[in-house]
Structure 1
Amino acid sequence: MSSIPTFTFSDLFAGIGGFHAALHAAGGTWAFASEIDPDAAAVYDHNWLRPLRESGAPMPEGVSSFQVSGDIVPLTDPEVRVPHADVLAAGFPCQPFSKSGFQRGMDETRGTLFWNIARILQDPEKRPAVVMLENVRNLAGPRHRDTTFKTIVRTLRELGYRTASEPAVFSPHLLPRSMGGRPQVRERVFILAHYVGVEAAQDPANFDDPIVSSTSLDIDWRKDQWDLEKDLPLLPDGEVDERYELDGAEVKMIQTWDRLLTAVAERLGPGEKLPGFPIWADEWRPLEAATDLIDVAAAKGTPFPAWKATFLLKNAEFYDRHREVLDTFRMQLDAFPASRRKFEWQAGPHRPLSETIMHFRPSGIRAKRPDYVPALVAITQTSILGDRRRLTPRETARLQGLPDTFEFRRTIPGIDGPVVQKDAASYKQMGNGVNVGAAYYVFREYVLSHREGIAAVAPQVVASVESAALNPDDRFARAN
């Protein structure tokens, strides 16, 4: 048994346990978890707490059983019934700040769940030494940076926590595989803080800069070095169930757009690229007609927004230049659903679509370079590998840094043995999850950078992190 002291952690808005995996790899032991979604809670229980129960591990102080608690609100209001832990991690709901939502921030009920976290930090008997919060990139965007983000920072300082004035924005694709990185662009805001007392926390001398950022990473690694095939790695095609293959209609759409884009690319001059703006077949009209459309709308007092007018003009210019090609595809494209008559090229120099990563989005088809994939999302936009298939749930778990021992299973009372859940739930959980490697790296860098201050209140956190491996994958490799 290791003689290095371990630390305890609480896992709020826990999902299926991305923070659990990261903090466990850093030497932490579970003390509490809360997750309101019963499917995610059941998967969390199966993967992280069931092994603790079966191993006969001792109960953490203040915990009566190894179980995932539900809604955090009744556990923190009116009194805090969350046990003490050295570290508190919380990926609090992102919908109030996400670009895919209404972006109401703290004005939306779910946005106020931060205040339930604050109630734990306010309790002298329950407050943790270190706090790690995570949310979508847009929390630090122009709409929320000067309101919601600054409110969170101010509140943490008022509660005695030293924290940075600027957000730490990080993505797993910026780290090599040897440090827990993964080929997924997943920029997230991390807010880390440690307890120093109210007076010190509000001293401007302690208003830190972020420990990590997407621009200051000082390692010998470039994001264009990813190879999805071997670095994820992708499952061999022979091991992939046919249900993940594209259907005939999807293949036809891809092949049609592939022929169209190839024909356009052949007409481009030296140094020219395929357009980066969304190409929309419904808006292919001569430039003169597009201009008239914009002018008429303005004359009626219902002008198009600037972005829409620009979009219409660019598509018209595109049509005027390539109408000989585009008109030959009109009938084929008209037979597609509206969302498939729009295409966005983000894959660099032209290449066959079979060599790209695609998303079938509600706003259209998007093609990207094949080295790393776009962020997993909680809706049905699973990445498509060329013209072949979708990523499997196992591959999305790998993208999130979870070990291959992780299972999309749950235990149901009265049924013998764990049950595999439906793919839709698995994809949703991966889209909502925190990336293990990114969380581990940010946490480790923060603790090591503030080792003296953290050691003053929780030396076991510093001792555990100092002895932990550079790569969180090493912890799971040793365990198996």
Structure 2
Amino acid sequence: MADYISAKELSKIWGITPARIATMCANNQLEGASKIKGRWMIPTDTVRPNGKTKNFIGENSDANFRFIDLFAGIGGFHQAMRFLGGKCVMAAEINQACVTTYNLNFKTLEGRVRGDVKKIDPTTISEFDVLCAGFPCQPFSKAGLQQGFNDKTRGNLFYSIMDILDAHNECKFVVLENVRNLADKSENWEVIRTELLKREFIITKEPLILSPSDFGIPQIRERVYILGIKKDECSVEIQEKGYIEPEDLNINTYRKKCKIGDALTLLEENVSDDYRITAEQNLMIQAWDEFRIGTGIKIIGFPIWISCFGVNIENTEELKTFLGYDEMPNWKKRFVDKNRAFYLTHKNFIDPWLDKYDMLNRIKLYQKFEWNCGEDVQYMHDGIIQIRQSGIRVKRNTYFPSLVAIVNTPIIWDNQMAAYRHITPREAANLQNFDQRYKFSGTDKQIYRQLGNSVNVRVLKILCKGLFELRLKDDVHIKNTEIDD
């Protein structure tokens, strides 16, 4: 009886990823391979295949298809496409810090990353099968002016993508990603739909809005995905419908709900003390934990604002005049009323607490507190904490809030170091499902920003696997690719 070796062990011998070996097993390329307790086991005497397969455009290659990576960032698309058997023909990214990181991890057929997409002559790009683009989100983001396609600088980059498609009729798939807000205005979607239809692409019926948390990945991060396949490449049924439905992509196979504690499964061990929070931050977290316990309230259904307590103000109407109550929107009036009533009810505990931690002299963000855990979390160190301009916010450890490009990294309690700390860049990469071997460059601040601007790799694997399997031709070799949890 033959001895067996795991895909992970074999990957070190062959110098390729465990995922690629799993794909070979699923495609029956490794004789005698079998799945035991969910893991691929391969006979130790297995000879590595030469990997030569027929790609989408019908040439002999060591890749199943070719793709271009526009607005490439640090390579989220690249990782997903490579997992599915793709080879990058060309990448373009204008941010040089991102380019440095990209070059540490990937190579293109051109051997370099091009710059500004608007300055690229589409005719100089080699043939490709898949166009990937996480085009700039500022025209649609809540953080910007939300001008959409009226933005004459970034908004029109979408048309640069269309120019490239016009020069490359051989392209069979488009995979675009953007912020959730792109779908808020129907005119934005109509522009995208119309332009891709002009180029004979069938796309999803509606904007596909998904978060990693939809697939059991503990991060809330809604994004819009726009997937398209050339009309003459897909089934008659889809051609007749004229659009792709989520069911066509087999998305539901991978759906999974997150549960309490899932966020903590992505944490690393033996983390450097460099990631500890400051002494003042630690003191303020301690203070608010004491506040919540001392007031005896398990559920706080509104944000706590010390400025609305009315400390040393006997008359509530006097406080309202001081705060400009009459000019406030109704939602803010409700919060003022609730905070004042809360303070008067718990005044005997709150007044000494304010003095103990000198809270009235703290910066404003330390004077605000949000408890978004209900009764599911008993103590602060069991939750996920963010220190924001809106105050100290505590959430359940079911999933992390969305990574964002600005530096506002979540805080967790590290049992091993017995201290609060920020999540590390590697943990942020785990939230984006970046390969464990991925290399980063630059400062932590730059890395957090790069990951905040990136795409979730596993979500792309799921979507693109479903999209590619819509192709009727018999030279698609990703059909049995397994996407691990």
TM-score range, shorter chain: 0.7 to 0.9
Match of 2:454 among 423, 433, 452: 433
Query: Aligned residue for 2:104?
Result: 46
Name the structure 1 match of 2:156.
Answer: 112
Query: Could you tell me which residue of structure 2 aligns to residue 391 of structure 1?
Result: 423
Partner of 2:471: 451
Aligned to 1:7: 65
Q: Which amino acid aligns with 1:358?
A: I
Cα offset for 1:325? 3.1
Q: Take 1:465 and 1:7, find their aligned partners in 2: how far apart are those partners? A: 10
After the TM superposition, which residues 297-446 of structure 1 pair with which residues of structure 2 at under 5 Å, given as runs?
A: 298=326, 303-331=327-355, 332-349=358-375, 350-386=377-413, 388-409=420-441, 421-446=442-467
Instruction: Classify the secondary structure of the residue corresponding to 1:224.
Output: coil
Asked if residue 195 in structure 1 is aligned to residue 230 in structure 2, the reply is yes
Contact 1:167 1:190 in 2 (8 A): yes
8 Å CA contact retained: 2:260, 2:396: no
Q: Among 272, 287, 302, which residue is 1:277 paired with? A: 302
d(CA) in 1 for partners of 2:307, 2:347: 13
Q: Does 1:148 find its partner at 2:194?
A: no
Partner of 2:271: 240
1:208 alignment partner AA: I
Q: Decide whether aligned partners of structure 1 residues 284 and 97 sit closer, same or farther in structure 2, where only a CA change above 3 A counts.
A: farther
Q: Structure 1 CA distance, aligned partners of 2:189 and 2:331?
A: 27
Contact 2:99/2:113 (8 A) holds in 1: yes
Equivalent of residue 284 in structure 2, options 253, 274, 295: 253
The answer for unaligned runs of 5 or more in structure 1 is 53-58, 60-64, 177-181, 410-420, 474-480
1:120-163 Cα distance to aligned partner (Å, 9 max, x none): 1222x35521011111222223xx3x121222122211222111
Residue 412 of structure 1 corresponds to: none
Q: State the TM-score, normalized to the length of structure 1.
A: 0.78
CA contact (8 A) 2:71 2:136 kept: yes
- In the TM superposition, what is the alpha-carbon distance from 1:19 to its structure 2 partner? 0.6
Q: Supply the RMSD in Å over aligned alpha carbons.
A: 3.0
Write the distance in 1 (CA, Å) between the matches of 2:149 and 2:334.
Answer: 33
SS in 1 for 2:226: strand
Name the aligned partner's letter for residue 103 of structure 2: D
Shift of 1:364: 1.7
Query: Which runs of structure 2 are paired with 1:142-181 in the superposition (5 Å)?
Result: 144=185, 146-176=186-216
Tell me, yes or no, if the aligned pair for 2:213 and 2:257 is still in contact at 8 Å: no
> Residue 102 of structure 1 aligns with which residue?
145
Quote the Cα distance in structure 1 between the aligned partners of 2:53 and 2:238: 33
| Per-residue deviation, 1:390 | 0.5
Structure 1 residues 379-411: Cα deviation after superposition (integer angstroms, max 9, x where no partner): 1111111351011111111211111211113xx
> Larger Cα Rg: Structure 1 or Structure 2?
2
- Return the letter of the residue paired with 1:355: D
C-alpha contact (below 8 Å) 1:356/1:370 kept by paired residues? yes
Match of 2:131 in 1: 88
User: Does structure 1 conserve the Cα–Cα contact (< 8 Å) formed by 2:249 and 2:467?
Assistant: no
Following the alignment from structure 1 to structure 2, what is the Cα–Cα distance between the partners of residues 326 and 362? 23
Deviation at 1:363, TM superposition (A): 2.0
Report how far residue 31 of structure 1 moved: 0.8
AA aligned to 1:242 is D
- Structure 1 206/320 Cα, relative in aligned 2: closer, same or farther at 3 Å? farther
Q: Contact 2:249–2:466 at 8 Å: present in 1 too? A: no
Residue 446 of structure 2 corresponds to residue 469 of structure 1: no
Q: Cα gap change, 1:129/1:249 in structure 2, threshold over 3 Å: closer, same or farther?
A: same
Does the Cα contact within 8 Å between 1:120 and 1:127 map onto a contact in 2?
Answer: no
Name the CA shift for 1:275/1:151 in 2 (closer, same or farther; >3 Å).
Answer: farther
Partners of 1:189 and 1:355 lie apart in 2 by 32
Q: Offset of 1:328 from its aligned partner? A: 3.1
State whether residues 209 and 223 of structure 2, in contact with CA within 8 Å, keep that contact through their aligned partners in structure 1. Answer: yes
The amino acid of 2:244's aligned partner reads D
Which residue of 2 is the match for residue 137 of structure 1? 180
Q: Aligned to 2:193, what secondary structure does the other structure show?
A: helix
1:68 aligns with 2:89: no
Q: 1:291 to 1:338 in 2, by over 3 A?
A: closer
Residues in 1 aligned to 2:323 and 2:411: alpha-carbon distance in whole angstroms: 40
TM-aligned CA deviation for residue 203 of structure 1 = 7.8
Q: CA contact under 8 A between 1:184 and 1:374: conserved in structure 2?
A: yes
Given that residues 91 and 134 in structure 1 are in contact (C-alpha distance below 8 angstroms), is that contact kept between their aligned partners in structure 2? yes
1:33 Cα deviation (Å)?
0.6
| Contact 1:168–1:211 under 8 Å retained in 2 | no
Which one-letter code corresponds to 1:283 in the other structure? C
Partner amino acid, structure 1, of 2:363: P
Q: 1:308 deviation in Å?
A: 2.8
Contact 1:19 1:89 in 2 (8 A): yes
Whether contact under 8 Å (1:183, 1:399) holds in the other structure is yes
Contact 2:176 2:227 in 1 (8 A): yes
Please report how far the alpha carbon of residue 432 of structure 1 lies from its aligned counterpart in structure 2 after TM superposition: 0.7
The CA deviation string for residues 435-454 of structure 1, in whole angstroms up to 9 with x for no partner, is 10111111112233x233xx
Q: Percent identity?
A: 33
Q: 1:207 aligns with which of 218, 229, 243?
A: 243
SS at match of 2:294: helix
Aligned length: 413
CA contact (8 A) 2:215 2:255 kept: no
Are 1:289 and 2:280 an aligned pair?
Answer: no
C-alpha spacing 1:130/1:27, structure 2 compared with 1 (3 Å): same
Structure-2-length-normalised TM-score: 0.78
* Contact in 1 for aligned 2:461/2:483 (Cα 8 Å): no
Q: Is the 8 A contact 1:162 1:201 kept in 2?
A: no
Structure 1 distance, partners of 2:209, 2:354, is 43
CA distance in 1, matches of 2:400, 2:248: 22
Deviations 1:295-338 (A, max 9, x none): 9665xxxx323433333333334334333333333342223211
1:13-39 CA-partner distances (Å, limit 9, x unpaired): 111101100110011111111111001
